[in-house]
């Protein structure tokens, strides 16, 4: 198939419309709106139905090519997506539910869900014949873009925090990225994004971070998690999706995924989408709980948590994330570092899945939601497990040494 079903792109802030042939990246009004990709849903619906999907042999994100903004022939294809949906049998028993599912996205080529985003973003860069791509990231997205750049023959320029996890730095080095460490020196400042933007300006690099306002294409990748979850539950779907949230772009993708499926008539109702943030960086959750929007959002001055992937000083895709939670009647929940580390440990000890703290943060909210009565033990709940523990083993080894890496009052969890 060579036809693209992208109909237009529309700025989320000012509503300016762009033709797909313009290949826009940022709104020309420089208003930091995200250029939301709109598909010809009638056209897609003619091509995509449940039965047809189930007979497709392709298992990666390109299985859903009609709902992606770039053709698979530009993609490096390292095996992104197509990850297992695991029933948490033993952990579910401990929590008193038979309906807990885990979407194990640690099993991606660079060991995080970011491969879904960067596979699509890098393919677009290849289509546009770019040689140099730039990214601001806590580490996972950068490692992913670096891998896809290596496989596509592009140079990746990564802007990361000084304390990025060693496993992620090792990946960046080996995949041949240039690495610039950027320290936050002012309250609320997003140092890595500022550095990336100035490099884009000065050297003409193609911006390809996870966040929507700086590149509209990669945002389309993570929504394939939703399509897979529906296929894997034979279209019964789930009641609740727990989403670890930093910048909000994963949640934006999950929201886009369920809307896409509804637009093409494959589902009727939305699952409830839950934004989960660490207590040390809970600005978006606070806005959701108060019922306010991005205009009133107060960023945390210096975000801090054991969940390093969730420390974005500003939720760049917060507008769509807030909308996704509200329109699906979901919730915003924040969790302590102690609960995150407990989720890491339980995922490993009961289910054999080794996640990094950010990757287990969604699961960390499940007890609280049960005890608040927001979710029922009969509800089908899926926790997105978004990154592998092998990226930062030190933080979790600390749990066994008497509390390094936990809340300030210590986290000592014995086996
Ligand atoms: C493992 C992991 N999970 C979740 C997230 C959160 O994603 P987002 O920034 O899209 O909200 C990140 C972001 O870096 C991450 O690395
Ligand atoms: Zn605009």
Instruction: Give residue 17 CA to ligand 2 midpoint distance, Å.
Output: 9
* CA-137 nearest atom, ligand 1: 14
Q: Which helix (H) or strand (E) holds 383?
A: strand 381-385
pLDDT at residue 403 above 70? no
Closest CA to 133 of 71, 61, 215: 215
Pocket lining: 388 vs ligand 1, CB cutoff 6 Å? no
What is the phi/psi pair of residue 90, to 5°? -70, -45
CA distance 101 to 250: 18
Listed in sequence order, the residues at least 6 apart from 412 whose beta carbon sits closer than 8 Å to its beta carbon are 399, 402, 403, 406
User: Which single residue is written with the structure tokens 């985003």?
Assistant: 117
Pocket lining: 389 vs ligand 1, CB cutoff 6 Å? no
CA distance 56 to 233: 16
Residue 201, burial from CB neighbour count under 10 angstroms (0-12, 13-18, 19+):
exposed
Pocket lining: 248 vs ligand 1, CB cutoff 6 Å? yes
Give the lowest-confidence range in 99-108, 331-340, 388-397.
Answer: 388-397
Closest CA to 252 of 312, 184, 199: 312
Q: What would the mean pLDDT of 231-254 be, rounded to a whole number? A: 97
Regarding pTM above 0.85, the answer is yes
Q: pLDDT digit string (tens) for 342-379?
A: 999 999 999 999 999 999 999 999 999 999 999 999 99
**Residue nearest atom 12 in ligand 1 by C-alpha distance:** 309
Average per-residue pLDDT in the chain?
A: 94
CA distance 42 to 233: 25
Q: Which of 142, 246, 319, 353 to mutate to test the pocket of ligand 1 (most atoms within 8 A of CB)?
A: 246
Residue 1, pLDDT score: 45
pLDDT at residue 14 above 90? yes
Q: Which of 244, 355, 357 to mutate to test the pocket of ligand 1 (most atoms within 8 A of CB)?
A: 244
CA distance 79 to 285: 33
Pocket lining: 310 vs ligand 1, CB cutoff 6 Å? yes
pLDDT at residue 233 above 80? yes
Token output for 223: 């929504």
* CA-247 nearest atom, ligand 1: 9
* CA-312 nearest atom, ligand 1: 9
Residue 414, pLDDT score: 53
Q: What would the mean pLDDT of 128-143 be, rounded to a whole number? A: 97
Ligand nearest to the CA of 118: 1
Q: pLDDT digit string (tens) for 41-73?
A: 999 999 999 999 999 999 999 999 999 999 999
What pairing do the DSSP bridges indicate for beta strands 155-160 and 240-244?
unpaired
What is the phi/psi pair of residue 402, to 5°? 105, 30
């Amino acid at each position: 198939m060579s036809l693209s079903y992208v109909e237009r792109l529309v700025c989320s802030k000012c509503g300016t419309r762009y033709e797909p042939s313009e290949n826009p990246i940022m709104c020309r009004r420089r208003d930091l709106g995200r250029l939301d990709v709109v598909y010809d849903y009638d056209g897609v619906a003619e091509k995509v139905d449940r039965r047809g999907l189930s007979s497709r042999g392709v298992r990666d994100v390109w299985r859903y090519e009609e709902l992606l903004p770039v053709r698979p022939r530009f993609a490096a294809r390292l095996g992104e997506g197509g990850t297992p949906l695991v029933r948490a049998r033993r952990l579910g028993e401990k929590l008193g539910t038979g309906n807990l599912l885990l979407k194990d996205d640690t099993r991606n080529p660079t060991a995080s869900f970011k491969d879904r985003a960067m596979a699509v973003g890098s393919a677009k860069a290849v289509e546009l014949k770019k040689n140099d791509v730039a990214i601001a990231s806590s580490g996972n997205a950068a490692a992913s873009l670096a891998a896809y750049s290596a496989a596509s023959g592009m140079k990746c320029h990564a802007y990361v925090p000084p304390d990025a996890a060693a496993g992620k730095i090792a990946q960046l080095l080996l995949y041949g990225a240039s690495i610039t460490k950027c320290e936050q020196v002012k309250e609320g400042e997003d140092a890595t994004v500022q550095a990336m933007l100035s490099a884009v300006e000065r050297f003409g690099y193609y911006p390809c971070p996870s966040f929507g306002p700086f590149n509209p294409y990669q945002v389309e990748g993570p929504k394939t998690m939703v399509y897979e979850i529906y296929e894997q539950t034979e279209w019964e779907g789930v009641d609740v999706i727990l989403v670890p949230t930093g910048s909000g772009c994963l949640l934006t993708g999950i929201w886009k995924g369920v809307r896409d499926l509804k637009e093409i008539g494959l589902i009727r109702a939305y699952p409830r989408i839950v934004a989960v943030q660490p207590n040390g960086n809970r600005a978006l959750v606070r806005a959701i709980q108060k019922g306010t929007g991005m205009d009133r959002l107060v960023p945390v001055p210096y975000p801090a948590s054991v969940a390093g992937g969730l420390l974005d000083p500003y939720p760049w895709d917060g507008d769509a994330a807030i909308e996704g939670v509200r329109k699906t009647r979901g919730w915003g929940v924040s969790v302590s570092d102690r609960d995150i580390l407990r989720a890491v440990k339980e995922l490993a000890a009961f289910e054999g899945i080794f996640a990094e703290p950010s990757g287990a943060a969604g699961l960390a909210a499940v007890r609280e939601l049960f005890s608040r009565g927001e979710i029922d033990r009969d509800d089908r709940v899926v926790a997105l497990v978004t990154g592998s523990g092998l990226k930062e083993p030190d933080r979790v080894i600390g749990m066994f040494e008497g509390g390094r890496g936990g809340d300030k009052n210590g986290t000592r969890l014995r086996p």
